Amino acid sequence: MSFASLGLSAAILKAVEKQGYDTPSAIQAQAIPAVLEGKDVMAAAQTGTGKTAGFTLPLLELLSKGQRAKRGQVRALVLTPTRELAAQVAESVATYGANLPLKSAVVFGGVSINPQISTLRNGVDVLVATPGRLLDLCQQKVLSFSQLEVLILDEADRMLDMGFIRDIKKILAMLPKQRQNLMFSATFSDEIRELAKGLVNNPVEISVTPRNATANTVDQAVYAVEQSRKTSILSKLIKTNDWHQVLVFSRTKHGANRLAKNLEADGIKAVAIHGNKSQSARTKALADFKAGSAQVMVATDIAARGIDIDQLPFVVNFDLPNVPEDYVHRIGRTGRAGASGQAVSLVSSEEIKLLHDIERLIKRVIERKGIEGYEPAHTLPEPNMKHGGGHSPNHKKPNPNRRKHASEASNERSARPESRNRSRQNSRSDSNADSSGAAQKPQRRRNNNTTANSSSSASVDPYANARPKARS
């Protein structure tokens, strides 16, 4: 099958060919014809499967046949959870629409809103946006959706995880009921299906990747290490194997900063991206990493969302994620589009349970490796695989409202310049989260349990059940 057989115009095919593509991926082969037929689509596809082009190409084809956007109007809206992902999608729209007379724009927080207002007032055919900044612009009445033809929710699962459900509902209430709806997600979870009930109409369902599956092209390995020696071991792996373009995941923002600084001190050019970095700093860090001037990029889960780097060869879990599913998303950064990649995890004794949860989830035991001279006091036993799904029988499914990433995004939301003059009740997280340095995990309002937890703990007497020490 070729792109030409999917019903795309010569102008789009020329742009696709210029990018070096001739055969559509599985998601593209199924999604493009359905979108061109005007049907609503629910597509489940992991990162790296070509889903962005899967909706961008047919969207451009449809819009190219209609009337151009009038002043202040938007014909197609693409909502993304993070700034970096928004920038990535906007780049795809511009690339594949290079030979078409269509106008596009991208809007997200962390940058001046005035240029965005000026662009939107002239009208755009395709608008890529993060929910928070889009609602800011709607409040200023600089755009109208009365001509909207297509709505696309990209990475809908992350939208929900990051607390955008209320913002999404507000946006949906402003859109015309007669429109085409496309929803792309990593999985068809119960939450996604619930959201879909009020969004898509008799959709075509497409699923090209088994849930929680890892790509066969990714070589996975774990190293048992002492927590205190993780940095030196990572440095040794990078230098010994001459690794370049290494994406390293840290559990915290401070940990990411510290690791990048320590790698720099050891002669390895490294940058860090997370929600506490300014938008310009994150953009520069990602650009340096893509260009190869930075050998290592240390990121939090939120920041890494939306990173799209061709042929990214190495992913390292400096800290294992608290949520097993995030391991799948992390290593999905490499081994994309059939390319090979390596995923290495440094596991301390405190993380053995997290490792076992991951292995049960992906239904495989990850190869154990060691480094001479860095033998730890602990070993990494293999998990009991009889409990499927990654959890023991008595394990309760983690409440997504309490995800660590959500609280991190919550902290980042308070840093948004445009939110400072708003009451805390009305503030919105906008892709300030961390996605490749992008706006990443905005957060769920309902996720914000920090105040509640602290207040409840303050009301409890920690010594209430203590017994007085017997006198000698």
What's the distance, CA 158 to chain centroid?
Answer: 7
Q: What is the pLDDT of residue 386?
A: 65
Nearest to 131 by CA among 95, 78, 93: 78
Sign (positive or negative) of CA dihedral 372, 374, 379, 383: negative
What's the distance, CA 292 to chain centroid?
Answer: 22
For 262-267, which contacts have Cβ atoms below 8 Å and span 24 or more sequence positions? 262/231, 262/235, 263/231, 263/234, 263/235, 263/238, 263/296, 263/298, 266/235
* Higher pLDDT, residue 191 or 228: 228
Q: How far apart are CA 33 and CA 54, in angstroms?
A: 10
Q: What is the pLDDT of residue 303?
A: 62
Nearest to 277 by CA among 421, 463, 103, 408: 408
When pLDDT is cut at 50, 70 and 90, the band that residue 308 belongs to is low
Does pLDDT of 262 surpass 70?
A: yes
Alpha-carbon separation of residue 31 from 35, 44, 182, 204, 219 (angstroms)? 6, 10, 10, 9, 29
Q: Residues 348, 349, 355, CA angle at the centre, nearest 5°?
A: 75
**Percentage with pLDDT > 70 across the chain:** 76
Encoded tokens for 257: 């900063």
What's the count of helices (H) and strands (E) in the chain, helices before strands? 16, 14
End-to-end CA distance of the chain: 87
- 3-state DSSP call for residue 142? coil
Q: What is the mean pLDDT of residues 447-464?
A: 38
Alpha-carbon separation of residue 296 from 267, 272, 281 (angstroms)? 11, 8, 15
Q: pLDDT for 264-298, tens place per residue?
A: 999 999 999 987 888 788 888 888 998 889 999 99
Q: How far apart are CA 84 and CA 277, in angstroms?
A: 13
Q: What is the pLDDT of residue 305?
A: 63
Q: Which residues, in sequence order, are CB contacts of 379 under 8 Å at separation 6+?
A: 224
Q: pLDDT for 219-255, tens place per residue?
A: 899 999 999 999 999 999 999 999 988 999 999 999 9
Q: What is the pLDDT of residue 185?
A: 85
Q: How far apart are CA 34 and CA 38, in angstroms?
A: 7
Residue type for 145, please? Answer: F
Name the CA radius of gyration of the chain, rounded.
Answer: 23
Q: How far apart are CA 251 and CA 320, in angstroms?
A: 7
Q: Which residues, in sequence order, are CB contacts of 57 under 8 Å at separation 6+?
A: 3, 6, 8, 12, 16, 28, 32, 96
pTM listed for this prediction: 0.62
- 3-state DSSP call for residue 311? coil
DSSP classification of residue 460: S
When pLDDT is cut at 50, 70 and 90, the band that residue 354 belongs to is very high
Side-chain-side CA neighbours of residue 40 (13 Å): 17
